[in-house]
Amino acid sequence: MEKMDKLTELLKDNAYFRWECVSIEKVKSMSEDMLVLCNENDVHEMQKGNIAGSIRAIERLTGMPKKYTSVLIGALPRGDGDARSSGGINVQNALEEAGFAAKLYISLPIKRLAVLSGLAEYGRNNVTSVQGIGSWVQYTVFLTDAPFNDSNWREKPVIATECEDCDICMEACSKGAISKERFLLYREKCKGCNTECYWSCPLNIRS
Ligand code: SF4
Ligand code: SF4
């Protein structure tokens, strides 16, 4: 069996039905528009700190061993096991069993990578949602040498079509942290409660 077929099968066996493997060069390119975002005036200092940390994690890719040519991001429905914060031992086993290198690398901006890789879309409430899974999802990220496919890569983040005519999370958030006018949450207002905006969102049950 071809190595990639074997990898696909092993990932499926572990409930990773949705994943993308993109080139490390595409992932490195993520820092360009994040730098622009980081310098925008209306971005809260805390968000700027997070964005700057993510940019540093992307820049560290340049110093990684040359054998890592691609980045695999896998999406797992939460509750299907393997959803620990250290992420994806089953993905590591699948990569290695299929004959590929595997190095866990979760310091990348994972939600943004999920969206740019084509795996997910953003919701207005800053969640991400994967077709076939919804937003109750756990991601894991590995550097690898598995063949990449950049055909689903997006140059800019996209918001889910469900958000276009929907105000549910905006109205549900009692802190006024969500707006139609901008992509980011108002971090200075958001209390990180992950309650009203999250549980009211139809993306939770998307399939
Ligand atoms: S509640 Fe509506 S607008 Fe908000 S993230 Fe979900 S689908 Fe998008
Ligand atoms: S996490 Fe809480 S405060 Fe932040 S946007 Fe959601 S509901 Fe509002």
pTM of the model: 0.89
**What total number of domains does the chain contain?**
1
Nearest atom (ligand 2) to Cα of 126: 5
- Residue whose C-alpha is closest to residue 166's, from 119, 123, 121, 115: 123
Cα distance between residue 138 and residue 5, in whole Å:
23
Query: Measured from the CB, is residue 88 less than 6 Å from ligand 1?
Result: no
Asked whether the beta carbons of 105 and 159 are under 8 A apart, the reply is no
Instruction: Classify the phi-psi angles of 161: left when phi > 0, otherwise alpha if psi is within -120 to 50, otherwise beta.
Output: alpha
Query: Measured from the CB, is residue 168 less than 6 Å from ligand 2?
Result: no
pLDDT of residue 87: 60
Which residue's C-alpha comes closest to atom 8 of ligand 2? 173
What tens digit of pLDDT does each residue of 166-180 get?
A: 999 889 899 888 888
Which residue's C-alpha comes closest to atom 6 of ligand 2? 197
Number of the ligand closest to the Cα of 201: 1
What tens digit of pLDDT does each residue of 89-141 get?
A: 899 999 999 999 999 998 899 999 999 999 999 998 888 999 988 888 889 99
pLDDT of residue 186: 85
Q: Where residue 21 falls among pLDDT bands split at 50, 70, 90?
A: very high
To which H or E segment does residue 102 belong? strand 102-104
Number of the ligand closest to the Cα of 205: 1
Which residue's C-alpha comes closest to atom 4 of ligand 2? 190
Strands across the sheet containing 137-144: 18-23, 70-77, 137-144, 102-104
Cα distance between residue 143 and residue 100, in whole Å:
10
Which residue's C-alpha comes closest to atom 4 of ligand 1? 169
pLDDT of residue 80: 58
Scored b (16 or more CB within 10 A) or e, 116-143 reads bbbbbbbbbbbbbbbeebbbbbbbbbbb
| Mean pLDDT calculated for residue range 47-58 | 90
Q: What spacing in Å lies between the alpha carbon of 125 and ligand 2's midpoint?
A: 8
Using a pLDDT cut of 70, give the percent of the chain over it.
94
pLDDT of residue 190: 87
Mean pLDDT of all residues in the chain?
88
Query: Measured from the CB, is residue 187 less than 6 Å from ligand 2?
Result: no
Cα distance between residue 6 and residue 69, in whole Å:
19
Domain that holds residue 105: 3-205
Which residue's C-alpha comes closest to atom 3 of ligand 1? 163
Nearest atom (ligand 1) to Cα of 197: 1
Q: What spacing in Å lies between the alpha carbon of 75 and ligand 1's midpoint?
A: 20
Asked whether the beta carbons of 115 and 127 are under 8 A apart, the reply is no
Cα distance between residue 10 and residue 102, in whole Å:
14
pLDDT of residue 117: 98
